[in-house]
Amino acid sequence: MEAKIESAVSQEKFNWRKFVVEQNSVIILALLLIFAGCSSNMFFTKNNIVNILRQQAPYMVVSLGVMMVVMTGGIDLSISSIVAIGSIMTTVCLTFWGFNTGFGLFMTIVISVLSGTIFGIINGYLVANWNIKPFIVTIASSN
């Protein structure tokens, strides 16, 4: 009986349409990379890859946080406002303390991360304890 099951599995035909539908974002990314690599001979250099990763690091960190919310079935529409608050706090703190002191840079990082964390905790508290829909809470806190 096991031989029949194995032979049925091995004879299954590869479904290209299903593959393209399930992996469309990977295919599009691959096509974009091929296009960019063919457009410029400098695209796949070490300096350019490091530069791209350095520029995208903040977006990667933010998207990891949003990914956790989406994986649990929620939605967070206030992320852009919370990032803006963190940026404003960074600007205010650096203007006040300056770049030169280690204390000023440390406090700037702490205060800007803490401001985003506080707004995230407020949103989470309202969703979890008051049973308000995440859509409503995050739209309200983004205004």
3-state SS string for 14-39: CCHHHHHHHCHHHHHHHHHHHHHHHH
pLDDT tens-digit readout, 53-102: 999 999 999 999 899 989 988 888 999 999 999 999 999 999 988 877 77
C-beta contacts of 38-47 below 8 A and 24+ residues apart = none
CA distance 61 to 75: 17
Q: Are 133 and 72 in contact (CB under 8 A)?
A: no
C-beta contacts of 86-91 below 8 A and 24+ residues apart = 86/112, 86/113, 86/115, 86/116, 87/112, 89/115
pLDDT tens-digit readout, 93-131: 999 888 777 788 889 999 999 999 999 999 999 999 999
The pLDDT value recorded for residue 105 is: 87
Where does residue 74 rank: exposed (0-12), middle (13-18), buried (19+ CB within 10 A)? middle
DSSP conformation class of 41: T
